[in-house]
Structure 1
């Protein structure tokens, strides 16, 4: 039986050529086949990189305004294709239709935001003490960059990385996750239609075991931006240490929401449940730890429990709150982690039961709210699924200490009516993102994004801060006479 294979973008043309047998992409809601992508080998990757080196020269010489115009064209094309892209994300990743639609809109906004920077300053004049001399600071692209993107936001994360990399003048090679590669290939086709020159963008699909080391160690890359698991990200940092290649990593999180005794409990409960269980808990910024001041612990626990039992779980294209997780493997991993946490003493407070047969039909996981001790693995380790754990503390000092008692430092939130408590929390928590009376998730495109400790590297994504990773500074002095 013949199959249709999605095409990679290589040197400005679309090709299904690849060394290995095509990779199946399955719908996590029912295990049906969504499509197939090429399984590239080292020689295929080399062709992409060779084209990228040439593309980097072309794109660097392209004016900033023209670069911006291409990105703005891409944003418009994404909006034109919004319905098809939304349906593809639902089928490929399992998000609800509302979540997928939001992802498509935000992807378009990334290209709009950075496309507008085509008319922004990209250097400055500097004072010079030498007579008859003026100096300038010039912002240049770094060259060819590798983007490694995850399955949980298969359109948004590529857009988040591609837009600042391209407006800065770099050529890009992008390797999407094998679970959700098709929408990235569709995005490449959109950028090609938008006017991106040949070689400036190349896509690589394949198995990490076969091409991961080839990609990570090729000396033609000037920078590597990775979003994914902490273990893989830390391994990438170690592999590239001392190579001169820039590395940006956005990794795991164990994000905490603190609810103090003076908080609006209706607001806190609603926001925490949405942040914990939206996207089936598969956000790096999802709330997975709930830290509650003892005086209101029983009341908040009851409100959260009630909200959890009302969550509707099902296919993303149905009227539900929580869709499937991305794969059978992820389903099993979450179930194993929950079983281990319960064996260690975690207590189930509430769950959203699955309809009969749903877990067998697809990669569905029961949303779970548990009470734990701080030593429990459900409290310490990233589950990356619809699991919320709760502990009780006495006062703000203990709450801040509990937030910081983690290997991760991505995002945190506090719910309080006290400005003093809010400012202390912002100042003292060791997380890259901090919210007051807002969720740990939901950061906008112009807001710098990234975590501390094992959640990320020093380079932020989003906003103007993202440009620093994709650019280098050249200082020049000119004596006019």
Structure 2
């Protein structure tokens, strides 16, 4: 029986619907087509309208970014000047936290308290990128002989297309844009057509911070109409995309037409491997958090528990008991922990995974159903026990609050189960034995392995995955370098002997 605490959504009747425009070449523009209306997934009412960008809008934005890169001034400004703009932007983001958080909460159905934390994290990322802007440097080699000096430069890659998803609208654009700008690149950004509000607001903030016209362009609209142009246009030098693995493949295919540099942060099916000697009190909380944070609509979600058989029944019972206390409901209520599912279609997809697993022999230890709160779409935190490694729910990204429980007996078996899927974004291991943790950490093929914690992070730590979880890394001390090309200057000193002259 579902005993999850429900928080009924309040009305948004007094909310003023905002019409968001596109930013192209420093000018705010309306679309030529009918605007995109965003219906709040939690309240069922229109909360935002976005300009419906077209191919022509995307091409205009790319031209503006190209001109801004080729003629300046952003790429030719000193690192200190660029850093100062990013620092001012960080301050302005912090000052408008409530406004940004409200937009992400109503458009994505995210709990307002959670979003405020994400905005704070984004502020830290912008400040970190500002510091890296001043640390970007090349190399010199004066050991190549008396007649040779070698200098290696790092230059901005050029025009960067940035495409972001709906699940973390402001946080994910902040994992990309400040580093591209810090390197001296100019950019075209396409947020999800479901959650564009906070990204457009970021455009206002950056112009106020002193970013020159054309260095940032924002085109709202759909992937087929706008994203396809941004990933294939010959004037774009690099694409940075976060989203599903399927769309990532399409992005890579489009970019291959002109051999663009590509950075992809894609899906995950992340395991938490738990041994009998683990601190189970700490783990139980991490299991519930990892599975249900952001309603499970998170590439880093800990959606697979791989439990030692000797503790499996006890752990499942304890996780289910804590899951009953999770507060599901109105994202605008500060007490809410799990908000709404992004669209009715996505809710149906989540439900189909649950029903398919149940038909295949898995048991529902908690939840399993959609919740009727009178408006919007919500899913009960769900636990599936008795899941086999070959089941779809154990291998594919559900992207919802669904936790699959599998079991193992040996370390080798746990590693095999963890590595048996197409993804490799993150993983967790729980044991008081450091040898066990280190063995799992080195053998599991994932970009991040947490030991006795889960879903921690910092601006200094790289983020990205193995296998079909993506290409490249975001964040970390090399994040600005990812938006650069290296150039070698090989300088000859003195006379040079022509090779064809007789000796």
> TM-score scaled to structure 2, two decimals?
0.91
Counterparts of 2:167 and 2:136, CA distance in 1: 34
Report the equivalent of 2:355.
339
- C-alpha distance in 2 between matches for 1:385 and 1:415: 23
Q: Partner residue of 1:192?
A: 207
Q: Which residue of 1 aligns with 2:382?
A: 368
**Which segment drifts farther, 318-327 or 101-110?**
318-327
Q: Matched residue pairs, number?
A: 475
Separation of aligned partners in 1, 2:28 and 2:344: 31
Counterpart residue number, 1:452: 466
Q: Does the alignment pair 1:7 with 2:21?
A: yes
TM-superposed CA distance for 1:354, in Å, is 7.0
Contact 1:346/1:376, CA 8 A, preserved across alignment: no
User: Radius of gyration: which is bigger?
Assistant: 2
1:428 paired to 2:443: yes
The counterpart of 2:253, out of the listed 238, 251, 255, is 238
2:366 matches 1:350? yes
Q: Which residue of 2 is the match for residue 41 of structure 1?
A: 54
Cα distance in structure 2, aligned partners of 1:25 and 1:235: 25
Alpha-carbon distance in 2 for matches of 1:427, 1:3:
50
CA 1:242–1:12 in 2, change beyond 3 Å: closer, same or farther?
A: closer
Paired position in structure 2 for 1:408: 423
Other-structure match for 1:26? 39
Asked if residue 305 in structure 1 is aligned to residue 313 in structure 2, the reply is: no
In the TM superposition, what whole-angstrom CA distance separates every residue of 1:131-164 from its partner, at most 9, and x where no partner exists? 2543211110010000010000100110110011
Which ranges in structure 2 are unaligned for 5 or more consecutive residues? 1-15, 495-503
Tell me by how many angstroms 1:480 deviates.
5.2
Q: How far apart are the structure 2 equivalents of 1:353 and 1:239?
A: 39
Whether 1:104 aligns to 2:119 is yes
Partners of 2:312 and 2:63 in 1: how far apart? Answer: 59
| Equivalent position SS for 2:329 | coil
Q: In structure 1, what is the equivalent of residue 218 of structure 2?
A: 203
After superposition, give the CA deviation of every residue in 1:348-400 in whole Å (9 maximum; x if it has no partner): 01128876x31x51121111011112222111111000000101110211111
After TM superposition, list the pairs within 5 Å mapping 1:289-304 onto structure 2: 289-304=304-319
Contact 2:163 2:227 in 1 (8 A): no
Deviation at 1:121, TM superposition (A): 4.2
For the 8 Å contact 1:313–1:354, the answer to whether it is kept is no
TM-score (norm 1): 0.96
Inter-partner Cα distance in structure 1 for 2:254 and 2:302: 31
Structure-2 residue corresponding to 1:260: 275
* Secondary structure, aligned partner of 1:225: strand
Structure 1 position 339, deviation (Å): 1.6
CA–CA distance in structure 2, aligned partners of residues 365 and 19 of structure 1: 37
Instruction: Determine helix, strand or coil for the equivalent of 2:445.
Output: coil
Deviations 1:21-49 (A, max 9, x none): 10011211011111111111122122111
Output the aligned Cα RMSD.
Answer: 1.6
Tell me the equivalent position of 2:400.
Answer: 385
Runs ≥4 residues deviating over 6 A: 352-355
- From 478, 486, 489, the counterpart of 1:476: 489
